[in-house]
Amino acid sequence: MSCFLSSSSLGRKLVMSLSGCFLVLFILFHMTMNVVAIISEDGYNAICEFLGANWYALLGTAILAFGVLVHFVYAFILTIQNRRARGNVRYEITVKEKGVDWASKNMLVLGIIIVLGLLLHLVNFWAKMQLVEILGTEPASGVELIRSTFSCPVYVVIYLVWFVALWFHLTHGVWSMFQTVGWANDTWYPRLKCIANIVATIVFLGFASVVLYFFFINL
């Protein structure tokens, strides 16, 4: 089984789909958690405290980090494999849209942008909250970190670019997860594409609303 998942093309795509599904669920949770900061600052700080240096939060962080690593590594392997086999076509797509699906041809580039944004996000938030708590220091207030970070227009632009890249990545990635298990036929493709666009848009609007809300209240 492990050989199938690591050496065969179908096995690698299955790993990509499973890790991608896990990451989409986490992104939806994280987006919902962030929106709470707009509704109730005390509520958001309570969630941050709950997800501090507790054993369950640390276990979740470790699993999440592993999921991101697996997804990125397998994406890189599949991209190299597909380029060697078919030139510039990066993903096998059994059903194609009319025109060019830009996101499907630039998933690795979008993924790199997302990873770079994630690293910046870890420096801005995780390192000042959960990490310092692990090291025995009082963590920063979650709301105050959001407020101070997004009082800077440069960070606002960077994060919005990050969210746009995430939107494009999800519009292809969400339906591609189902394609791997054979659901993207002529009937299901438009439905799955619509679902992918809805999920990606909800994620984008949720994250962007937090950034813009705290930017404008700081003016």
The Cα 9–Cα 91 span in angstroms is 11
Domain segments of the chain as ranges: 2-217
Residue 3: is its pLDDT beyond 70?
no
Mean pLDDT across the stretch 8-34? 88
Condensed to tens digits (0 to 9), the pLDDT of residues 85-136 reads: 665 444 444 444 443 467 777 877 888 899 999 999 999 999 999 999 999 9
Angstrom distance (rounded) from CA 126 to CA 142? 10
| Cα radius of gyration rounded to whole Å, the chain | 19
Using the predicted structure, report yes or no on whether residue 77 has a pLDDT greater than 90. no
CATH topology of domain 2-217: 3 helical TM bundles of succinate and fumarate reductases (1.20.1300)
For 53-57, 186-190, 191-195, which range has the lowest pLDDT when averaged over its residues?
186-190
How far apart are alpha carbons 159 and 114 in whole angstroms?
10
Look up tokens 């030139």; give the residue: 87
Write out pLDDT tens, residues 131-186.
Answer: 999 999 999 999 999 999 999 999 999 999 999 999 999 998 888 777 766 666 67
Beta strands in the chain (DSSP E): none
Kindly indicate the confidence band of residue 72, based on its pLDDT and cuts at 50, 70 and 90: confident
C-alpha to C-alpha distance for 122 and 209, rounded to whole angstroms: 20
